[in-house]
Structure 1
Amino acid sequence: MHDWDIKKLRILRTLAEQGTVTATAEALTMTPSAVSQQLTNLAKQLGVVLLEAQGRRVRLTDAAHLVLRHTEAVFAQLERADAELAGYLAGEAGEVRVGAFSTAVPALVVPAVAALRTSHPGIEVRVREAEAAEAYELLSAGSVDLALSLAAHAPTARDPRFTRIPLFADPLDVALPADHPLAGAPGLRLADLSGERWIFGGSGPWSEITRTACEAAGFVPEQAHSAAGWTAILAMVEAGMGVALVPRMAVTRRAYEVAVRVLEADRPARHVIAALRRGAEATPAVARVLTALREAAPQPVRG
């Protein structure tokens, strides 16, 4: 492999454009002797003769023209690299790897990526579904650049490894069978459902969130069925097997014959955050993704 020196190749290309060593030196703000020395060194590095004397001028050899053909492709690629680097530095380009929990992918990440394709097509977002514990392992290992998680299950704000950025509060609604006696009751409260059979996961984040919300309302929920996926939970509610707390993001676009009631008096919620390795929030492309996620976040229901 030959030593292709970009600086010397630029001098050769300029000589081809200007025609003389003197004009080349003027164009590059060099001395004629420096131009000649650099081209002599390039010829030695490549092992070919690049210039032939032609009176007081020099003529490029066939080998020099061969080198220049390839040099043009190299400089074109370098121009593209410069443009992409400038875009990266301005936050207009780059790759951002996002780890996100399951309900955040369709409700939050997908709309954010769709918006970025229009506003910043040079930014490529790679999505990896991962629950809270795995997301932080991936973030710590450098496998993702940004993790979407729940505040209740994130490392503490004092953890020096990460920066936590609040995104929004996802309200918890209650899903009841469509024919449930309380499906249309005005002013429904969580405490009104204390005697119901509940459906939630046997362990993990959602089990804790359900238990915490119910305990704040003054009762311990009786777990009738255990399920972790919203498809299974809502299907069981639809079949009249129990009731469930569900995050609003999980039911926004699902077609189930269930009554989903907003708990206006209780207003339980889970808090969604973005986490990054400390200092990474200053990376322009990551900042663009964070902005898109904030703009895609569901707006709170007023009432």
Structure 2
Amino acid sequence: MEHLELLRELHDRGSLAAVAAALHKTPSALSQQLKAAQRELGVPLVARSGRGLQLTDAGTALARSAVGVATALAEAEASWQRFQGSATGTVRLACFHSAGELLVPGLLDRLRPHPGLVLETSDEDVAQDDFGALAADYDVVVAHRSDDVAAPAREDLVVVPLLREPMDVALPADHPLATRAHVTPADVIGEDWIAPPAEFPIDRVLSAIAARAGAPVRVVRRTTHLPLTELLVARGHGVALLPRYTTREHAPAGLVLVPLRDLRAGRLVEALLRPDRHARWVVRLVVDELVAEAGAVVAP
């Protein structure tokens, strides 16, 4: 099983150095373990690729079989915990900032009936295509992606939909468009915009606005910190796209959210998990309560 797990980690993390850092072992120790596995099995499991290592077809097949073995063990443990009637264990949850603000307080409230379950939370805000890699380090990863693009290939992960959050245009309350029932891309394309870095879901929606309006977007400031964006908009330093449910809970005075028309603008919030971690009972409890909390957020 130890050999299988090493191959799986190498498959998911891409380099022996990354695996060594994750497992708190030295690369040389893992290299010796790989050599021992190859001698034992009688086939090459890795091959040199530039300065690193790449799994052979045999190594890839064994790495994938490790998922099934780990999942079966997790399911057996979950069955035993259900038999005993006690959900115990630690669940590591990673959230991007605004999802944590939106979901984590209510999630903790919902988990109070399970005192044996310890939820550890961490902030992880990365480009939308990079969330999947975080599932190697966390039991549950709350990710977001723009809903106007196809989902990335994530055949090695369990994907649990949580909610769709519309993106509204945030305007200063004294802006000429602030009293509108809605705005179009053509209405707002000429504004000074405050936006997150490229490849974040909100920025992709902003690119779609530019494409629909047929003109470039003028970005005057970039930040991933939504509360800062809200304050800047409220004080008249630009306009922004902001997630509706997250922003409406604490929008500062002087900021107005106006729906965007003629363009599908939103982000999908999902939970990403390795299959064996999804099989753990305590993890399933967390995911079930995440789904419930997301449903309560969306409900009017």
Q: Residues 170 and 269 of structure 1 are in contact (CA less than 8 Å); yes or no, is this contact kept in structure 2?
A: yes
Q: Residues 157 and 163 of structure 1 are in contact (CA less than 8 Å); yes or no, is this contact kept in structure 2?
A: no
Question: 1:124: which partner in 2?
Answer: 118
> TM-score, normalising length from structure 1?
0.62
Cα deviations by residue, 1:152-196 (Å, 9 ceiling, x for unpaired): 599965434322222111111111011000100234323311221
Q: Residues 99 and 130 of structure 1 are in contact (CA less than 8 Å); yes or no, is this contact kept in structure 2?
A: yes
Cα deviations by residue, 1:220-268 (Å, 9 ceiling, x for unpaired): 3211222221122112111212110001243132241211112355451
Question: 2:30: which partner in 1?
Answer: none
Q: Residues 201 and 207 of structure 1 are in contact (CA less than 8 Å); yes or no, is this contact kept in structure 2?
A: yes
Are 2:291 and 1:294 aligned?
yes
Distance in 1, matches of 2:282 and 2:117, equals: 7
Higher relative contact order (CA 8 A, sep 6+): 2
Are 2:209 and 1:214 aligned?
yes
Distance in 1, matches of 2:100 and 2:202, equals: 20
Q: CA RMSD in A?
A: 3.1
Q: Residues 201 and 267 of structure 2 are in contact (CA less than 8 Å); yes or no, is this contact kept in structure 1?
A: no
Distance in 1, matches of 2:86 and 2:139, equals: 15
Stretch moving more, 174-183 or 191-200:
191-200
Which has the larger Rg?
1
Alignment-mate amino acid for residue 211 of structure 1: L
Q: Residues 88 and 285 of structure 1 are in contact (CA less than 8 Å); yes or no, is this contact kept in structure 2?
A: no
Distance in 2, matches of 1:115 and 1:160, equals: 30
**Structure 2 counterpart of 1:285, from 262, 282, 285:** 282
Question: 1:99: which partner in 2?
Answer: 94
Cα deviations by residue, 1:205-234 (Å, 9 ceiling, x for unpaired): 156324334135334321122222112211
Name the % identity. Answer: 27
| Unpaired segments ≥5 residues, structure 1 | 1-84
Q: Residues 132 and 154 of structure 2 are in contact (CA less than 8 Å); yes or no, is this contact kept in structure 1?
A: no
Report how many aligned residue pairs link the two structures. Answer: 217
**1:130-149, aligned counterparts within 5 Å?**
130-132=124-126, 135-140=131-136, 143-149=137-143
Cα deviations by residue, 1:16-45 (Å, 9 ceiling, x for unpaired): xxxxxxxxxxxxxxxxxxxxxxxxxxxxxx
**Structure 2 counterpart of 1:113, from 96, 108, 113:** 108
Alignment-mate amino acid for residue 176 of structure 2: P
Q: Residues 180 and 258 of structure 2 are in contact (CA less than 8 Å); yes or no, is this contact kept in structure 1?
A: no
Question: 2:174: which partner in 1?
Answer: 179
> TM-score, normalising length from structure 2?
0.63
Are 2:147 and 1:150 aligned?
no
Q: Residues 103 and 249 of structure 1 are in contact (CA less than 8 Å); yes or no, is this contact kept in structure 2?
A: no
SS in structure 1 of the partner of residue 260 of structure 2: coil
| Unpaired segments ≥5 residues, structure 2 | 1-79
Distance in 1, matches of 2:90 and 2:185, equals: 44
Are 2:224 and 1:228 aligned?
yes
Alignment-mate amino acid for residue 191 of structure 1: A
Question: 1:200: which partner in 2?
Answer: 195
Distance in 2, matches of 1:151 and 1:91, equals: 35
Q: Which runs of 4+ in 1 moved over 6 A?
A: none
Q: Residues 172 and 268 of structure 1 are in contact (CA less than 8 Å); yes or no, is this contact kept in structure 2?
A: yes
Q: Residues 176 and 183 of structure 1 are in contact (CA less than 8 Å); yes or no, is this contact kept in structure 2?
A: yes
Cα offset for 1:275?
A: 0.4
Stretch moving more, 285-294 or 241-250:
241-250
